[in-house]
Structure 1
Amino acid sequence: MSRATHAVAAVVTAALLTACSTAASTPKVAPGGQAAPAPAPSKATADAAGAFAVLSAAVPSVKFGGTVTAENDPNHFLGRPHQYSSKVTFTDGRIPADQTEGHQPGDVELGGSIEVFPNAADAQARHDYIQTVTKGMPALTEYDYLHGQTLVRVSRLLTPAQAADYEKAAAQLS
């Protein structure tokens, strides 16, 4: 792909993935009509930084990219209703440098990101939204691994075998 094509793809990706998910969360109801409490995440994976620690222990090629804050969140989702409560980005050294031209720090294509939500329903809504948006657009596809309240998004530039390392590691998050 040319540099111009990468730039167009990056703009389209940003525009499509910044739209808000509209799915509402529905609490589970326990016997007797009481809302069942959501299971608490483990202390180590209660936020994206903790989840990254688990991933980095299992995937040697992963490097911390950065912490997303309300001030630098390109999606403007952090802390908003039904959106992620913490997010970090990461890079993966197995992605060839010539395939990352035109991408900005924090782009999923450079490695991935971890988004942690207040509840599993909101994480599921985000997962479903991303899958719907990227379904018919191969240049936007990615590997997504949802475990409870945590969504691990991994670059499409990794091979399926390489992405499987993240899938195995993400399974430890729930």
Structure 2
Amino acid sequence: MSRTSTTHLAALAAGTVLLLAGCSSPTSGDSKPQPASPSTASPAANASSAYKALAAAVPSATGSAPVTAESDPNHLLGRPGQYTSKITFKDGRIKPDDTQGVEAGDVSLGGAIEAFASAADAQTRATYIQTVTKGMPALAEYDYVHGATLVRVSRLLTPEQAGEYKTALEKQ
């Protein structure tokens, strides 16, 4: 293999790692969510309010946990063009055996709600996630955008089950 080919492969591998890190969703498994700082308290209400509405319509959604700038594994919370608040949650229909070894807060346990400053930012994030995970079944998920809110739902749910989140979101 030529030196140029090796360099291109190394760059491609590094880029792939960075892209995958940007769409991951786990939170630290042993740490408890920290309260939002005063500067993020208002935006956190957006994801929190969306979760309350979704959980009322989808009773299997439980165990919400706010993500803070300090606990965000993606390091996107509050960054320009990124989500202004984020909540992760579990879905009781997902079998524990299917998620062994998955860290608390991971989308595969149920889902996540990301609130943005604009609908365009929410759509950009959804498109990014779908582009990065395309062709990688282990990273696939359902993504629903409604206004400035992105709801990410576990691939472990059936399309019909995940669709309940979409229907509830559209009713907001």
Calculate the TM-score normalised by the size of structure 2: 0.75
Tell me which residue corresponds to 2:61: 62
User: 8 Å contact 2:45–2:85 — kept in the other structure?
Assistant: no
Q: Secondary structure at the match of 2:171?
A: helix
Tell me which residue corresponds to 2:106: 107
Tell me which residue corresponds to 1:96: 95
Tell me which residue corresponds to 2:82: 83
CA distance in 2, matches of 1:143, 1:100: 17
Tell me which residue corresponds to 1:47: 46
User: 8 Å contact 2:61–2:90 — kept in the other structure?
Assistant: yes
Q: CA deviation at 1:167?
A: 1.0
User: 8 Å contact 1:116–1:123 — kept in the other structure?
Assistant: yes
Identity of aligned residues (%): 61
CA distance in 1, matches of 2:159, 2:17: 21
CA distance in 1, matches of 2:170, 2:130: 19
Q: Deviations over 1:73-123 (max 9, x none)?
A: 000101000000000000001001100111000000000000000001111
What 5-or-longer segments of structure 1 have no aligned partner?
1-11, 20-44
User: 8 Å contact 2:19–2:132 — kept in the other structure?
Assistant: no
CA distance in 2, matches of 1:142, 1:13: 18
Which letter maps to 1:139? A
CA distance in 2, matches of 1:89, 1:159: 19
CA distance in 2, matches of 1:13, 1:108: 18
CA 1:65–1:46: 2 relative to 1, 3 Å: closer
Give the aligned CA root-mean-square deviation in angstroms.
2.1
Tell me which residue corresponds to 1:16: 20
What 5-or-longer segments of structure 2 have no aligned partner?
1-15, 24-43
User: After TM superposition, what 4+ stretches of structure 1 lie above 4 angstroms from structure 2?
Assistant: 12-15
Tell me which residue corresponds to 2:167: 168
Q: CA deviation at 1:17?
A: 4.3
Q: CA deviation at 1:165?
A: 0.8
CA distance in 1, matches of 2:90, 2:99: 11
Calculate the TM-score normalised by the size of structure 1: 0.74
